[in-house]
Amino acid sequence: MTVVDSSTLSRAVAGAPDAQAEVLREVGPHVASLVRRLGEPGQRDDDTHEIFAHLLHVLPRFKPDGAAKLTTWAFTVAHRFLLMRKRKPRAPLVALEGGLSVPDPKAGPDESAHGRQLAGRFEAALARLSAEQRRAFVLTQLHHQSLEAVAEVEGVAVGTIKSRVHRARAELVLALGDALDRPGGEGGSHGIG
Amino acid sequence: MVSADDVERLSRLLAGDLSAAEEAALRGELSQRPALEQALARLKALDAMTASFAPAPRDVALAEQAAQRLAPPLPRVAWRPVAAAAVLAAALAASVTAWVMSSEAPAPVAAPAPVVSEAPAPVTPLASEQRASPALIRTALGQLELLDGAQVTPLSSGVFRLEHGNVLAQGRISIEVEGHRIDVDGKVLIATEPEKAQPHVTAPMNRQLLAGTAVVLFVMQGNARATEPAFEVKNARPNVALDRVPKPAEMLSLKEMNDAVAPHSEAIGGCFAQALKANPRLQGKVTLLLTLKSDGKKSRLTEGTVAGDYSLQNPFVASCVLEQLGAVEFPAPRGADEVQVAYPLEFQPRGTGTWVALPDDGVERKVAMTARPERVDVELGDAPQTLPGAKVTVVEFSEHGCSFCLKGAQLLSTLRHLYRDRVNFVFKHHPLPSEPRSDEAARAMVAAHRLGRFWEFHDELFKSPNVPLETAARVARLDVLAFNRLRASDEVKQAVERDVAQAQALESRGVPSYFVNGREVVGLQPTELRKLIDAELAAAKNR
């Protein structure tokens, strides 16, 4: 994916529709996948579009030369937006097709089938986490947002987010069980520190 | 048993969040409890999985949808007001990077930045030496005053091309300059040498802003409208000192671009043909912004994107075309190491083929056609057939596994019933390489065919995506032993491979796809399919 260059970004901040479209192409997919995991069931597409609109509305507040990267800023906005949503208690989420990600083209047929299956189970397990744990896990582990940024939006201490992430990881490992044992699952660890 | 607390401690261990004492204790435990070791491996596997996360295609599609709504295709009107009629005096200059005064599409963001907008900028009495030789061209509706040694070429009634220099246009008159056409209705100074234009206007010019601009309009009265040139050098990184920046038209001409692209136009048309299969109504224009980097002798595409003014609503085509252009050797732009050009392409379906038009450069070019014969021969071989010898044959290429194939099978069973005494339905295998089960199912279907109960087995199999093959075989009353022996045989495997090779030779790239007397329908399109069958039946009746 191309990274939005600074002149496009400035024009987007100034309200140029084509530049804003570029920004959406850049951050939109990540925001959409965030909403798919953290949003309310049945509302996700609506929420996504609403958040897109909101993002563009507040885009003039983004400082292209500031410290925050565009994606980080977009995640913070989306995260806040989702937190403000006080909807009726959620029903358990169901895993949808589309899964975790596109299958790795390098993987053999068997591995890719396994990957899809694992992705489905992963989504289901993720949906069963508490909302707090899920937010912490999804933002820090899937979208690589910093603990500090997430803690700030959640309004809790960094340590609290850390605990939630550790707990979420533990729950997921237990829920996925031997599905994680297959080849291809081994690999480096990036921790959460 | 490993508890959530245990795994949480492991998670903290991996993150380095444990104290030295806690860590030592946990490592001791790890060596004692294999289950804990296993949980640690799983935790690492979870990390590996989440580290490589990418947004799913549907997320990308959602964002693309929103982005497309934001930057809708430009209206077909090509005019753009350069200055509103109400503004009596507005001096406009092109932005430095844009070279020419056109802006990025779409409106309403206009790149031309007003240099002076409040102070009226009437033309001063011309300096004496300039007054000595002003050439004045009168037209029916206006006049053109040539300043500063300007040179113009009349093109048609009321239309002139400004070759160089500055002109003062009054009344209704049109000037072509640097690929733009400027329609004047009022009084406008058009300058290709803005540094010489200063004596003609009272307002001070922003020299910095003017540096490197190709055309400057000073609108003194009324308004001027400029068209976007189809092809345009938008940005460039010059390789010469800035005091003599080459003009865009000198850097790279449209003809040179077209000459480079033309040999590849069939491949480009192929991109469109591919997309057309899924959406037969697809057509339109797309302007590509190509960044070409020169090595002194030739240039290559280093980056490409789509400008906002597209009417071809299909991102696949653009990305495929950009991929094709990656192979093109472009001429090296003169005086620049790197240029960005706007290059428009137009796509239209033509009969059974596609048509791609390169931007018009005045050269008679054969438009590229990627023709696909309306009918292709589909060899039936020993594939299962419902009514051999019928005048209309529908060959389905499908596989067991994709959700549309399952729906396709239901559709086909309805059609088989509906046209049972008129149409021959034939099934061919096109299993997806990424689906191991799909290949197994294909072999099972061939085995069932060898045992003479293809359709029974097919119908049973396609009832559900997960039905075990043997169960389906039993329900279809197949000899399970023979069935198992056959589907493991090389002969059956080769039969499937023959079908796959045939599908590839027919360039059928999706499942399910159908050939109605050789005319292809890709994907599950029940209405389209029925229309074709009815048309073929009607044609057969008249024969």
Domain CATH number, residue A27? 1.10.1740.10
Min Cα–Cα distance to chain A from B115, Å: 19
Residues of B in contact with A109 (CB under 8 A): 433-436
Q: Is residue A191 part of a domain?
A: no
Instruction: State the average pLDDT over residues B134-157.
Output: 83
Residue A100: its pLDDT value, please?
A: 35
Does the predicted interface ipTM exceed a cut of 0.85? no
Q: Is A173 close to B42, i.e. CB distance below 8 A?
A: yes
Cβ atoms < 10 Å from Cβ of A60: 11
Residues B213 and B301 both lie in one domain: no
Residues of B in contact with A29 (CB under 8 A): 55, 59-60, 62-63
Nearest to B425 by CA among B462, B402, B396, B404: B396
| Structural domain range at position B115 | 79-228
Q: Is residue B83 part of a domain?
A: yes
**Which of B7, B11, B322 best tests the A interface by mutation, with the highest count of A CBs <10 A?**
B11
Min Cα–Cα distance to chain A from B314, Å: 14
List pLDDT tens digits, range B50-84: 776 677 777 887 787 777 776 543 332 222 223 22
Q: Is residue B245 part of a domain?
A: no
Residues of B in contact with A102 (CB under 8 A): 54, 56-57
Please report, for the domain that includes residue A137, its CATH number. 1.10.10.10
Q: Is residue A26 part of a domain?
A: yes
Residues B34 and B87 both lie in one domain: no
Q: Is residue B65 part of a domain?
A: no
Q: Is residue A101 part of a domain?
A: no
Residues B285 and B175 both lie in one domain: no
Q: Is residue B497 part of a domain?
A: yes
- Report A:58-97 residues touching B (Cβ under 8 A): none
**How many Å apart are CA B237 and CA B245, to the nearest integer?**
10
| Structural domain range at position A122 | 109-180
Chain mean pLDDT for chain B: 76
Residues B215 and B262 both lie in one domain: no
Q: Is A101 close to B67, i.e. CB distance below 8 A?
A: no
Q: Is residue B57 part of a domain?
A: no
CA distances from B414 to B388, B408, B409, B459, B529 (A): 18, 10, 9, 11, 12
**Taking 50 as the threshold, does the pLDDT of residue B372 lie above it?**
yes
**Which of B19, B49, B310, B319 best tests the A interface by mutation, with the highest count of A CBs <10 A?**
B49
Q: ∠ CA A67-A70-A75 to the nearest 5 degrees?
A: 105
Residues of B in contact with A106 (CB under 8 A): none
Q: Is A98 close to B51, i.e. CB distance below 8 A?
A: no
Residues B434 and B536 both lie in one domain: yes
Q: Is B42 close to A118, i.e. CB distance below 8 A?
A: no
Strand partners for B221: B187
| Minimal Cβ distance to B4: which of A15, A103, A170 | A170
Name B535's Cβ contacts closer than 8 Å, sequence gap at least 6: none
Residues B117 and B185 both lie in one domain: yes
**How many Å apart are CA A138 and CA B152, to the nearest integer?**
65
Residues B320 and B445 both lie in one domain: no
Q: Is residue A43 part of a domain?
A: yes
Please report, for the domain that includes residue B364, its CATH number. 3.30.1150
Q: Is residue A190 part of a domain?
A: no
Q: Is residue A188 part of a domain?
A: no
Residue B485: its pLDDT value, please?
A: 95
List pLDDT tens digits, range B168-189: 998 889 998 877 788 888 888 8
**Taking 60 as the threshold, does the pLDDT of residue A90 lie above it?**
no
Residues B221 and B254 both lie in one domain: no
Q: pTM of this prediction?
A: 0.37
Residues A64 and A118 both lie in one domain: no
Q: Is residue A187 part of a domain?
A: no
Residues of A in contact with B70 (CB under 8 A): 17-18, 20-21, 24, 56
Residues A32 and A71 both lie in one domain: yes
In B40-158, which ranges are E strands?
A: 79-81, 90-93, 113-116, 135-138, 142-156
Residues A77 and A144 both lie in one domain: no
Domains of chain A: total: 2
Please report, for the domain that includes residue B464, its CATH number. 3.40.30.10
Residues B401 and B450 both lie in one domain: yes
Q: Is residue B380 part of a domain?
A: no
Residues B326 and B451 both lie in one domain: no
Residues A10 and A80 both lie in one domain: yes
Q: Is residue B170 part of a domain?
A: yes
The gap between the terminal CA atoms of chain B, to the nearest Å, is 77
